[in-house]
A and B are shown apart, each in its own frame.
Chain A
Amino acid sequence: MSIATATFDTTGPEAGARSEDYLWTLNFGPQHPATHTTLRLVLKLDGERVVDAMPEMGYLHSGFEKIGEHLTFNQYVTVTDRMNYISPMANNVAWHHAIETLLGIQLTPRCTYIRTIIAELARISDHLLSNGAVGLDTGAFTFFLYGFYQREVIYDIFETLCGARFTNSYTRVGGVSQDFTPLVIEKIRAFIRTFPKTLNDMERLLTRNRIFVDRTKGVGVLTKEEAINASATGPVARASGVTRDLRKDEPYLAYADLDFQVCCASAGDCYSRYLVRMQEMRESLKLVAQALENLPAGDVNVSIDQRVAGPTKQQVYSSIEGTISHFELSMANRGFEVPHEESYAAIEAPNGELGFYVVGDGSENAYRARCRPPSVLHFALFPQLIRGHTLSDVVAVLGSLNIIAAELDR
């Protein structure tokens, strides 16, 4: 069935070719500013009302999973950056979380805290953009700029941390590429101090704004049963009353030690998804503050005896273990001991459950590196959310789902 000849299910007594004649087909995307990313929708319109929608994806498919079978565990982290250009740090953490689950590596306490901090900063930067985009698409440009300014501050923290603003590639098997420096900690502390003010400003701009509320309340309603049945996760599911949050339900990294709340709403509409994201930013900020003030001392990477994390220059030049470890990790026929096994590990990424199903075959490359992308399952929800609403609601619903095309198509 080609998309041009697709028949749309217009349920009703007069459904049929003849009664559909007055319907109008509109092609939305793949190059359209309001899709924000490269995706396409074919909308069937009755005047201004959307009768049905057909989402189409694949315009950005780059075979990331195939590439994952040909790159080593540490190389592939660069590809996970490109999978999600809104919160790349979270993807880095997810990928190496999966690899460490497969290899059975236990991280140092300092590393778990550092990863928690950067994952939560990534969540804030994702929610700033996704909520900002909802605001932008419904006419609130100032709100978007407020959010983008704070994203810039987070970029600056990441740049200080690892040298890259955007595609960070920060994590490594068994550790991270750079330890926190006093300057990074100072910048994160400054962010914790200043961000609540912006967040309050943003809430005052939009949360009770009549125009915004009218545009989003009651639009794109997803019930709890539908959300579970359609495998929705993350803020999209939590806005529908699903209380699942992997940070609480399957505590990984340092989340078991930290105090935070899972943010839920029950209405399941665009406005609830906006509220959940706004509230999650506050919780993330709490998490960052707690983790930063309780940051354990000690090594950031696992011990060099385990032969997984690269030793420091100091260790290579001054100890025999460091030299051996450096040598073994850089030789093609040495390196990690990878079991002939497969495992799945997921984190609560900003967008939902982001997991990797990794199959090990003894070599340093994954035999299969499946990414469980939350965006695909959310994009599949789109037709049922938009049916019956008007054309102008398309952007509100699309923005509230926070579809990231690179992750969608991989």
Chain B
Amino acid sequence: MPFTPPPVDDVLAGLADRFGTLDVSVYRGQTRVVVPADMSFDALAWLKERGFDLLVDVTCVDYLEYQDAKHRYGLVYLLASTATNQRLTVRVFVDDPDPTVKSAVPLWAGANWLEREVWDLFGIRFTGHPDLRRLVMPEEFTAHPLRKDYPLQGRGERHNFPVITRDHS
């Protein structure tokens, strides 16, 4: 039988008490809770207090072409507890023209590079991030390539790379 993580019902109840009714769904034993963007930092801080001390991942999904999607970007915070092995996925939805969410770096140092990567590839701005630079793309790159409106083969950036000769290097 596939492993199912320990239940998180009490955490969800506490979360609902503190932040009002939230949209909770379960798929394959994984509990997801949707938190409004303006409350995301407080909710993450509250969850960290309640024992979700490990930030497993921060990532994002661009729902531009997704069926029945109501929002453009869905941030994913995968949390886990090193003591109880509980897992919880926190979803935060943001939209154009100004996809912004408060940075989780004050809570977890590990969020630093993960948020830089999301900024780099999706263009989500994290307010309060100490060093929001591109992580994998070159600094002079302007697009955010994991967005769905960015073509697979790029927009010709590669072909327009300046060629540096030995004389001019």
Contacts and interface: CB of A to CB of B under 8 A. Distances in A.
Contacts of B112: 380
20 contacts: A2-B139, A61-B136, A61-B137, A70-B152, A101-B2, A104-B28, A226-B109, A230-B110, A243-B82, A244-B54, A244-B85, A344-B57, A344-B76, A357-B57, A359-B66, A372-B78, A376-B114, A377-B113, A379-B113, A409-B136
Interface string B37-58: 0000000000000000111110
Interface in B119-133: 121, 131, 133
A249 B54 CA distance: 14
B113 A357 contact: no
A231 B54 contact: yes
Contact of B85 (A66, A249, A342): A249
A361 B3 CA distance: 24
Interface in A240-293: 242-244, 249-252, 256
A33 interface: no
Contacts of A340: 66-68
Contacts of A341: 27
Interface of B: 2-3, 5, 27-28, 30, 53-57, 59, 61-62, 66-68, 76, 78, 82, 85, 89, 108-114, 117, 121, 131, 133-139, 145-146, 152
Given A66-B152, A343-B27, A376 B67 contact: no
Given A231-B56, A372-B57, A250 B5 contact: yes
A279 to B, nearest CB: 20
Contacts of A251: 3
Nearest to A63: B145
A376 B110 CA distance: 9
Interface string A338-382: 001111101000000101010101100001101010001101100
Given A368-B61, A409-B136, A344 B89 contact: yes
* Leading 6 A-B pairs by shortest Cβ distance: A231-B110, A58-B136, A61-B136, A380-B113, A372-B57, A230-B110
Given A252-B3, A357-B59, A372-B59, 6 more contacts: A67-B152, A229-B108, A250-B85, A355-B56, A368-B62, A370-B57
A221 to B, nearest CB: 16
A376 B68 CA distance: 33
Interface string A223-245: 00010111110000000001110
Nearest to B25: A341
Given A228-B53, A252-B3, A367-B61, A58 B135 contact: yes
A123 interface: no
A154 to B, nearest CB: 28
A376 B114 CA distance: 8
B110 A344 contact: no
A65 B117 CA distance: 12
A31 to B, nearest CB: 15
B136 A57 contact: yes
A353 to B, nearest CB: 7
Interface in A326-348: 340-344, 346
A392 interface: no
Contacts of B3: 250-252, 256
A184 to B, nearest CB: 27
Contacts of B109: 226, 229-231, 380
The interface centre, meaning the residue of A1, A57, A61, A410 with most chain B CB atoms within 10 A of its CB, is A61
Interface in A65-109: 65-67, 69-70, 101-102, 104, 106
B47 to A, nearest CB: 14
Contacts of A226: 109
Contact of B55 (A106, A231, A249, A362): A231
A106 B2 CA distance: 8
